[in-house]
Amino acid sequence: MPVSTRIIKRRIKSVKSTRKITKAMELVAASKMRKAVEAAVGTRTYATIARDLMVNLSARARKPHPLLAVRPVKNILMVMVTSNRGLCGGFNVNIIKKSKLVIANPERFAAHEGETPALTSLVVGKKAIAYMRKRDVPLLAAFDKMSDTPSFTDALSLTRIVIDEYEKGAYDTVVLVYTDFVSAIEQKATIRQLLPITQTNVEELLNGTTGGTQNAPLAMSEYLFEPNPEKVLNTVLPRLVETQVYQALLESAASEHSSRMMAMRNASDSARDMIDDLTFTFNQARQAGITRELAEISAGAAALAQ
């Protein structure tokens, strides 16, 4: 008997139970994903309009508002959104890879060549905490109890810290690293400048494609502010920053769940292939055993007949 049928049987059983788990996780992730995607897509219009408005205001504001003021960058704060749990395919790997762009090249933010701004991080998710510890990047704050479906209040507490620290002058620029949900099978890790509010494309800055220059301000129509520019900016700007953070949290949640769903689906599929393979081997072994037994019996009978 080449392979023991009993051993194969045991293996089939173990793969089957693994498949049950991955299948269950797939279904759970799928239903969470549906909710998360709905929330992310629903907020998109609001966030897009808010960002347009924000960019318009930044190009237009005559009196510099603290959230619009561009200062020479000496300290960078990186806000990074990851998941609390693993088993979600490349989700955390991709976002960490993206954050390396900032960690490895802080000097690209510097106003003058030769300076290297200090980097601090504010993270969401246990995976980012672990990574920042490993890389020895100081942590300003860590949120590891974010729910699967982030609420606006979650975004508020995070934004509060960011805006307070920024207005104090502790940091001169704040970048946001998160995963943009494109579709169930495609999620894109993205870097965006949160503060000051300008049109700088951080990704290009880091890749060196624009050489650190800013885009020319768009031609803006004259805006009327009611009751007055200061009041409007004071209300609108923090709100817009909150919206950007909220959107990032939602997009990341949607990406996490869809990426987990895909990972679990792949796992279930390969478990099924494995079961098929093993069943085939099992049947072969069983048949080989039967044939051998028959051969033995008929050989025995032939020996008796003689």
Q: Minimum distance between the CB of residue 241 and another protein, rounded to whole angstroms?
A: 13
Distance CA 70, CA 254 (A): 32
Q: Which is nearer to another protein, 136 or 226 (CB)?
A: 226
Q: Minimum distance between the CB of residue 220 and another protein, rounded to whole angstroms?
A: 9
Site of interaction with another protein (CB under 8 A)? 39, 42-43, 45-46, 49-50, 53, 57, 152, 221-227, 231-232, 235-236, 239, 243, 246
| Of residues 166, 187, 172, the one with CA closest to residue 81 | 187
Identified catalytic residue from 12, 47, 88, 146: 88
Q: Which is nearer to another protein, 53 or 142 (CB)?
A: 53
- Residues 6 or more apart in contact with residue 199 via CB below 8 angstroms: 55, 58, 59, 214, 215, 217, 218
Q: Name the amino acid, one letter, at 100.
A: K
* 44 sits in which H/E element: helix 5-60
Q: Which is nearer to another protein, 95 or 248 (CB)?
A: 248
* Burial of 105 (C-beta count, 10 Å sphere; 0-12/13-18/19+): middle
Q: Minimum distance between the CB of residue 249 and another protein, rounded to whole angstroms?
A: 11
Q: Do residues 188 and 256 touch, judged by C-beta distance below 8 A?
A: no
Q: Minimum distance between the CB of residue 12 and another protein, rounded to whole angstroms?
A: 48
Distance CA 25, CA 89 (A): 13
88 noted as active-site residue: yes
Q: Which is nearer to another protein, 109 or 181 (CB)?
A: 181
Q: Name the amino acid, one letter, at 230.
A: E
Q: Which is nearer to another protein, 205 or 241 (CB)?
A: 241
Q: Minimum distance between the CB of residue 67 and another protein, rounded to whole angstroms?
A: 15
SS (H, E, C) 276-296: HHHHHHHHHHHHHHHHHHHHH
**Alpha-carbon distances, residue 16 vs 3, 13, 97, 124 (angstroms):** 20, 5, 34, 35
Catalytic residue list: 88
